[in-house]
A and B are shown apart, each in its own frame.
Chain A
């Protein structure tokens, strides 16, 4: 896909996130919107997947370690054709397959159940080890949050991924700088993150997480790295794309009302028109 095509898909995914959350009346818009360009680039350009065969043994894996951003994953999976878009309305509703946090048992295309922060990177490590053990060439992508950097297990997994030289593992940090209680730097400082991951012997790439071309370049660079895992630190804006949500911690875990949803969709449709 071309850059402009990817931007259009990201716009559709953002619209679907808003519609889904309005229907669910709860959920996490901020961190879903901040990750929309990353997830779009992965699913529509970088990853080797087949929506007709979600369990294909040779597919690339995606682990949403920041599982509360489930809406962005669901929107991408639906857009990609893993399941009908109709399902998006069922998000967080009893008896429907789209759980509040990703559930690999219920949703086609979800490679790992996540939601409890800190656990996804370990699972991604396990998959990357299995890929090597089986002599396969599939890669594993894990999307992490910056609030999640406070979880000790992340650093256990960081150490292990480097120890086992998992160059088929690419982690992306959705560095939006906000978490539930406020700015990540004031809740629990995790900076300097690039230095920390470098010190854990990862190949680190810093990138603007809303610049599709820069993301494509970062993924291309990650592909060439041998002998160690790659961490792409993607600087993002929480709530990206919706004027009244951008950079507001309050939009971490609150769904927009019907009116707010309409306003958000209006902004996104305008953006879509500008994209042509």
Chain B
């Protein structure tokens, strides 16, 4: 109960730093979480947020001289050795629930009480979890399969499990929620916030990690801002403004947006109308030859579904694509038909959907255009090798040894191979998701140069990425998505990393 809670902090961090391979990703963070408080934690990608959470969850050990006190006990020594289970529970974005199992099984899997002969005492188990379900306002029967629940209810199950996991003897309770709202619908977010407020009124402390400044301001008591591994501010949420938080996060004043420019005239090469699919609710856009169109947004906003939907890799619910005069229904478009139209897809998950790492560079390069290397059914190895050597030279693939198995190449060179593979088919539209993920700076520059060259030659490119700087540097135009819809279009003259970030984080 709020009134009996003591004044001492539930969690205290003092001088917490973390260095990976000589690179300091977290620098001297000092911070206290008060009992019954909802503390927001915000920061850009790479600000050290995830590292801090991983230290708290016991996954990483902090650098020496740090001190972490939890519920009055110094737990520093035990960090890095696995989960810390003293009055603290973590709810991650993916929730980590087993969908085919029941609510009861998900809550109690590791700690069933058993009776004679190891029999699970189901009735007692149901009684035991009831209070936790009540605390999160879940009226579902404990025997309901988690997969049958709504996304919001699943999030609440994860929170109930977190509460149940906190051992009952503890005099404090701390929940850490990592981006819990990314995949929740609007009314689900409100329901979740109601539950969290109720828990905090009854003395549970909550650390709420989020990208969404409006949510953080609505829900939290105080907001902690991380930038470049340092704690740059602790702000009372009531006194904060979105612009102020953004400035703390980005380290520079937020820029005024110029009025939207009139789009230059010219026939579009690609036009997508009323696209819905994945997290995308409704999106229309066009791309003229030579244009590089960017898509940005928070996780769950749908920005990262666009390349896959346009290329037919994932079926859309609806949408129409017109490319160079031919038209296709995006609900039925297959990758094969997409390639036929001239669309090439470079997925983010290189090892699984991008390439066959156990096959050679040549084999990976020629896969989509294999028919061009066969005469009367016979594959010409010589012709394949010549094309592979030519592409290796053109794209600067190193080592220039097309017979090498692809997995022996660096990430950057693998990505160049995949770009080269699609360029062999001379695509009209390149759809890319995180094209420079796991790629070193040099390769990144080369990949961008090839993209620009392809655009200058008359192709169009679509890029979804979290790298706002890349978007600002490369794109003709950037669409910013929120909850599946385009909320802002930034034209070339208005593009800067800060403006993209501002449009992404602020509502």
**A and B form one complex:** no
Q: Which residues of B contact A (CB under 8 A)?
A: none
Q: Which residues of A contact B (CB under 8 A)?
A: none
